[in-house]
Amino acid sequence: MNKLDEKQLDTEVEFHLKQHVGKRNPMDRWELIERVFGNGASYPRNDNNVFDRRIRDSVERLRKRLLICDMGDGRGRYLAANYGEFVEFNAKYVSRAYPIMQTSAAMEKLAAAAFPDQYLEHKRDQLQPSLFGTMTGARS
């Protein structure tokens, strides 16, 4: 099962997660790996496990069409059984973006100060008219 392409992997992950609906019925991270890739695939049990990385990538793709939740508490993943479960998950999921955005904004200021000419040229390039008559980078 190691040779699954993305579509096959997504089908397998979806199949197993559809059997785990609701916050009270999560599927353990390592169990999912074993179910999809076979016995022993969950070792080593750390973030460097190649099968775990593939499952995480699959989950991100599948989240565009399934309400896959994971509260980061080690209990596992599940499909939201109701809107409240989705809201709880989504608040946690989106909160990870704020520190990244804050760091990016701070780094943008540092880059502007360190490379002022290049920074201004880049900003000007973003405002150049496109071939389609809209302004890239312009806000509406």
pLDDT tens, residue by residue, 27-63: 999 999 999 999 999 999 999 999 999 999 999 999 9
C-beta separation of 59 from 66 below 8 A: no
pLDDT confidence bin for 127, thresholds 50/70/90: confident
- Structure tokens that stand for 10 in this block: 């997504």
Asked if the 6-95 domain carries CATH number 1.10.10, the reply is: yes
For the chain, give the mean pLDDT: 92
pLDDT at 13 over 60: yes
* Predicted confidence (pLDDT) at residue 139 exceeds the cutoff of 50: no
Dihedral sign from CA coordinates of 11, 19, 90, 98: negative
> What is the band of 15 on the pLDDT scale with cuts at 50, 70, 90?
very high
